[in-house]
Structure 1
Amino acid sequence: MASLSRTSWLFVFLVFALPLVFFPYTYLAFEMPKVFLLYLFTVSTPFLLLKSGYRLGNFSKVYLLYLVFFAWIILTAALGLSFGQSFLGSYFRWQGIITWICYFVLFFISAKLFENPHFKKYTCYAILIASTVTALLAITQFALYWFDGNTTQLLYNRRVISTFGQPNFLGAYLVMSLPFTWLLLKQANLKQKGLIGLGLIIIILGILSTTSRSAYLGLIFLALIWGIFHYRLLLAGIIASIILLTILANLFPLLVFNEWYRFKIDTTSKWTAENRLLIAQRSVQLVLQKPLTGYGLENFSLAFPAVVNSQDLGLKDIVVDSSHNLFLDLAVQLGLVGLGLFLASVSSALITGLKRLKSADIESQQLIKAAICVVITFLSMHQFSVVSVVPMVLFWVSLGIITGPALAYHAISKLSRNIISLAGISSIIIISLLIIQTIRADILFREASAYEVSDIHRSIKLDNDAIKIAPWIYFYQVRRDFLLKQLGYN
C-alpha cells in the first residue's frame, strides 16, 4: 500500500497548503492559486493509486446518491445558459464542474484514507497549523490597521483578509477548523495541550478580527451542535435546531428592516449598496421561472439581469453572481431537484455518521462528531455568505469522514490502467492550458484596468484607503461609467 501512503501524505499537504497559498498583488491573488493546487492534487491522486494496481470499487448505496447528484449537475449545465461557464466556473468564483469533480474526488478518497489512525492525527495537525498561521496574519493585519493606522498592507475595505482575500472566506475556514483543533486538544498529553490550547485561542481571536457576521453565526451554531453531542441528544435534536435557526434567520430581515442584515456597506459599495433582501427576492423569482433544472452551475450572474427592474437602483449597475445563501444559489443554478438531491446527500451522510457512532471506537467517534460539527456549521454560515474553495474542501472531506469507508481496492488490468493514465495525462494538459489562459487573462485584465484606475486617481482626489481599494472595484465588476458618475466625474 505504498501508493496509498503517498496519497495520504499528498492529502495532508493539500490540507496544510491550500489555505496558505496565494499570489499577492495580482487580481486573482487568492481563489485562483488555491483552485489550481486542488486541481493538481486531483490529477495526481489516480497516478499514485494506479502505480500499485489499485482502483476504487464496491460503492455502497450511500455513494450512489452522490453520483446521481453529480449527474444532475452535468445535466443542468447542459440545459443551462452557458455550459462553458458551468464547466470552468466564473472568472472570480471558480466553482464550476471541474472544481466540483475535485470535491467529489476528495469526498471519496477521504472516506478511505481516514481509516488510518496516524493519518487522522497528521491531518488534524495540518489543519491546526494552517489555521493558526492564517489567524496570526489576520490578527497582525487587524492590529496594524486599527492601532497603528498602517494602510500599506492588503485589506478588504478595511477588514482583514489574511491569505483568503475576503473576510467571510477567512472567517468560515477558521470556524470550521475549530472542531478538529478541539479534537486534538482532547487527545493530547499535558505538554501538547498548552501549544494546542494557544493555537485554539489564536484561531478564535482570528475569527473575531474578521468582523464577519456569518463567522460569528457559525460560532453560535458550532457551540449549539457541540452542546447537543455533549448532552447526547439524537438526530431529531440536531435537525430541529437547524430548521428552527434557519427559519428564524431567514425571517429576520422580513421582521426587522435594519442595516445589519439588509446591506453590506463598505468603502466601495457606498455607491452600489448590495441589498441582500432584494437580491433574495429576485432570486426566488428566478427559481419560480425555472424550478426544475435551474440555469446551470455558475450561471447565476447570467440569469439575474432578467429579473432586475428599473426600480432596483442598487442592483442595476453591479454584477450579482450570488444570493449569499447556499440553498437559494443551488435552487437557482440546479433547480429544486438539484437542491433536493444536495440536501438528501448531506442528510444521508449525517444519518450514516450517527449510525456509525454506535459501533465505532472512541477516537473514531470523536472524529465523526467533529466532522458532523464542521458540516452543519458550514451549512449554517453559508445561509448568509458566498462559498469559497477552502471551506468547500473541508466540507466535502468532512462528509467523507462521516460516511466512512465503503470503498475497496482491487487489482485491475494493464489495459484499464493505461486508459486511466491517458485520461490523467489529458487532464494535466487541459489544466496546464487553463492555467496559461488564466495568467494571460490576468495580465490583459491588469493592463486594461491600469489606465482606468490611474484616470480615476488623476481626476478625483481620493484618500489613501480609496486608492488602495480601487483595484478591488474591478474585482466586483462595477461598471466604470457608473463609478465615475457616482464620484462626480463625467
Structure 2
Amino acid sequence: MNSLKKIWAQQAINYNGFITFIVTIIPLVIWPVINTTDYFYLPKVISLYVIIVVFYLVLILNRKALQSFVTLDSVTWLLLFYLLALSISVSFALNTELALYGKPLREEGLFTIMLYFSAFLIARHVAPTAKLYRYFLATGILLACYGISQYFGFDPVPRDWLRTDWTSSFSTFGNPNFFGSYLVLMLPLAMFFVFKRPHIITSIGYTIIFFALLTTRTRGAWIGAFVAFVSYLIMLVFVKRWSKQTTMAIRYIFMSSLLALIVFHLHSPQVLGLELGSIFTDAKTIMTNDNNLLHAGSNRMYIWLKTLDLVTVRPFTGFGLENLQLAFVSQYKDDMLVRFGRVMFVDKAHNEYLHIAVTAGIPALVIYLSFLVQIARKYSTRLAESDVYLALSASLIGYLTQAFFNISVVSVAFIFWAFLGLMAHVSTRNVH
C-alpha cells in the first residue's frame, strides 16, 4: 500500500484532462426535470464543485504536484488580493448567506467565485493548442446546433414555465444573453481553424457558431463578437501573420457570415433591422441625453446610473456579493414605481465592472482590472509565438467587451476564467 502511494505521489497530474472536462462537459450539463426551479445553473455549479473537489483530492495525494501547483508571480498575487477584497466585502454584506452561497438561479456567491479561481489556476498548467481548441469547439458547435433548433421551434428538452414562449435561443445556458456570452468565447476559436485551413469544412463550424449568435438576438454579444473579430484582424497585422492564406480565410468568413445573415433575415425579416437599429438609437439617446435616456438599453441606463449612486454609498466595501437587489429595492423602490409602474428585479448591474464596484467595492474593481492588465502586459508577447494565442486573446477581448452590457453568470464565467488561465499558463512548452 505504501509503495502504491509512493508511485501515485510521483505521477504527473493531467491538468489538460481536467480543463478539457471543465470547458467541454460542464456546459452540456442540465437537469430538465419538471417542477424543478433550475434546469441550467445549479446543475453546472454542482458539476463544477465535483470536478474541482476531485482535482484537489488528486493534488493532495500528489506531493510533487502540490508543491508546484501555485506559481507565486504577480498574476497570482493579484488574484489573491482580489479574493481578499471579495472576502472583506462578505463581512460587510447586507445578507452574509447570499454573499457566501449566492441566490437561487444565480448561485454566484464567494464559494462559486472560488471555483472560478480554481479553474484559472488549473488552466495555468495547460498550454493552449489546436487540439485543445478542437475539443472546445466540438462542444461549442453542438450547443450552437441545439440553440439553432430552439430558434426554429424544435426543443426536445421540456421547458419550464418561464421559458415556454421564448423565441430567442438559449441552448443549455438558461438565457439568450448568457448563450451569447458563451458564443463570443467560441467564435474566435472557429475563426482560428478557418485561418489555419481556409476551406468549406472549417467554414461550416464558423457558420454554425455565427448563426447561433444571431439567434440569441443579444446586442451586447453581437458587439462583443464584432470587437473580437476586429481585434483578431488587428493582431494578425500586428504580429505580421497576414498572408494570401489569411486573405482567402477572410473571404470564407465573409461569405459564411453573409449566408448566415441572409438565412436569419429570411426567417425573421424584421428582427435584424430592429436589433441593429436599436443599438444606434440607444447610442444616440445616450449622447444627446434626451428624455428617453433612462430607458436606453432596455432600461440599462437607469440601472447603471442608480448603481453608480449606490457605489458612492459604500465605495470601499460594497453591499456584498449577490446583495445588489436588496440595496436597489431599499433605495429605489418608490422611484421605480413612479417611473415604471413596477419594482424591477435588479440583482445584477448589467455591467460586470460596475457590478463588482457596487457589490465588492471600488478597491476590488481596481484589483480585478489590475489583474487583467497584468495578464495582458505580461503575456502579450506570446501573440508572436503561436496563432493559438491570437484566437484566445480575441475570445477574451470579446468577452470583456460584452461584459459592459451583460452579467457574470455561473453557466459561462468559469469558461472565461479557464481561458484566462490558458493565456497566463506558466510554461510555453508544447504550444502548437
What TM-score do you get using the length of structure 2 for normalisation? Answer: 0.77
Alignment match, 1:105? 118
Is 1:30 the equivalent of 2:40?
yes
Matches within 5 A, 1:409-448: none
The match for 1:217 is 223
SS of the equivalent of 2:13 reads helix
Query: Superposed, which structure 2 residues align to 1:44-443 within 5 Å?
Result: 44-53=54-63, 54-55=65-66, 56-114=69-127, 120-144=129-153, 155=164, 157-187=166-196, 194-232=200-238, 253-255=286-288, 262=295, 275-313=299-337, 314=340, 316-357=342-383, 360=385, 365-405=386-426
C-alpha change, 1:67 and 1:110, in structure 2 (3 Å) is same
- Cα distance per residue 1:334-372 (max 9 Å; x no partner): 1111111111000100111213345x3xxxx32222222
Q: In the TM superposition, what whole-angstrom CA distance separates every residue of 1:154-205 from its partner, at most 9, and x where no partner exists?
A: 55632222211211111111121112222344445x8xx5543212111111
- Indicate whether 1:21 and 2:29 are aligned: yes
What RMSD in Å do the two structures reach over aligned CA positions?
Answer: 3.1
Identical counterparts, % of pairs:
25
Within 2, Cα distance between the matches of 1:277 and 1:15? 33
Equivalent AA in structure 2 for residue 49 of structure 1: L
Query: Partner of 1:64: helix, strand, or coil?
Result: helix
| Partners of 2:319 and 2:379 in 1: CA distance | 33
Change (3 A) 1:233 1:122: closer
| Structure 1 residue 14, shift from structure 2 partner | 2.1
Paired residue total: 369
Q: Distance in 1 between matches of 2:62 and 2:311?
A: 48
Normalization by structure 1: what TM-score?
Answer: 0.69
C-alpha distance in structure 1 between counterparts of 2:62 and 2:79, whole Å: 27
- Partner-residue secondary structure (3-state), 1:222: helix
| Deviation, structure 1 residue 102 | 0.9
- Aligned partners of 1:168 and 1:215 also within 8 Å: yes
The 1:62–1:165 alpha-carbon spacing in structure 2 relative to 1, beyond 3 Å, is closer
1:156 and 1:42 map into 2 onto residues whose CA distance is 36
Q: Which amino acid counterpart does residue 405 of structure 2 have in structure 1? A: F
Judge conservation of contact 1:80–1:296 (CA < 8 Å) in 2: yes
Structure 1 stretches of 5 or more lacking a match?
235-247, 265-273, 408-490
- Tell me what 1:416 maps to: none
Instruction: Give the structure 1 partner of residue 249 of structure 2.
Output: none
- Please give the per-residue CA displacement for 1:429-458, whole angstroms capped at 9, x wherever unaligned: xxxxxxxxxxxxxxxxxxxxxxxxxxxxxx
Structure 2 CA distance for aligned equivalents of residues 151 and 327 of structure 1? 31
Aligned residues of 2:333 and 2:343 also touching (Cα < 8 A):
no
CA apart distance, 1:326:
0.9
Name the residue aligned to 2:250. none
Question: Can you list the C-alpha shifts for 1:11-44, whole angstroms capped at 9, x where unaligned?
Answer: 2122111221111243201111111111111111
Alpha-carbon offset, residue 132 of structure 1: 0.7
Instruction: Give the structure 2 partner of residue 9 of structure 1.
Output: 17
Amino acid at match of 2:211: L
Partner deviation per Cα, 1:194-223 (whole Å, 9 max, x = no partner)? 543212111111111111111111121112
Deviation, 1:106, is 1.1
Offset, 1:65: 1.0
* Contact 1:35–1:99 (CA under 8 A) maintained in structure 2: yes
CA contact (8 A) 2:286 2:296 kept: no
Gap change, CA 1:276 and 1:255, over 3 Å in 2: same
SS where residue 387 of structure 1 aligns? coil
